[in-house]
Amino acid sequence: MPEILPDHVPSPRTPLVWDGTRYRAVRGHTDGTVQVRGEDQLFSIEKVVAQRVTAAISGPDGFVASLGCPAGRYWVITNVAAQDATSASTARHLTTVHDGTGIVFDAHRVAIAAGEWLAWHGHVFLDAEDVIRAYFIGGLAGDTCTIDITGYQMTIET
């Protein structure tokens, strides 16, 4: 990026960025788009994250976990839905597991019929190896349970 100096004054329409010590002109492409990455963006998206995991839970209060976020990436999960297709449950908890620590971000403590989907919408951030777990409180060993997650993978600052 060219530094803004008295002998190099941009046009009044040139977008500028502060680099911590001085203003610089933002780089552009010949098609008129602006070159930005990671933290320079207002909304950083590299690709969509959408997955479904269906598995049998191992026992009462069992869980189904999403696949992990890949190393070197960050996921922003915006929707999670969970279902026990086999048995009614008494509660359902959604947790993130980061560095081995589970943190509940949504809990439904009501009777939930077999086959009923419960959905959560918001923002949960995952980094390498983090997963989301759906716990089926009151479910039975061998119940077929599903977790769906959607969101996006962020671009990484380069």
- Reading across the β-sheet that carries 144-153, which strands appear in turn? 47-56, 144-153, 75-84, 118-126
* pTM exceeds 0.75 for this model: no
Q: Which of 116, 119, 87 is nearest to 106 (CA)?
A: 119
Give me the domains of the chain, ranges plus CATH numbers: 1-35 (no CATH), 47-153 (2.60.120.260)
What tens digit of pLDDT does each residue of 109-152 get?
989 999 999 999 999 999 999 999 999 999 999 999 999 999 99
User: What is the tens place of the pLDDT at every residue in 16-31?
Assistant: 767 677 776 666 666 6
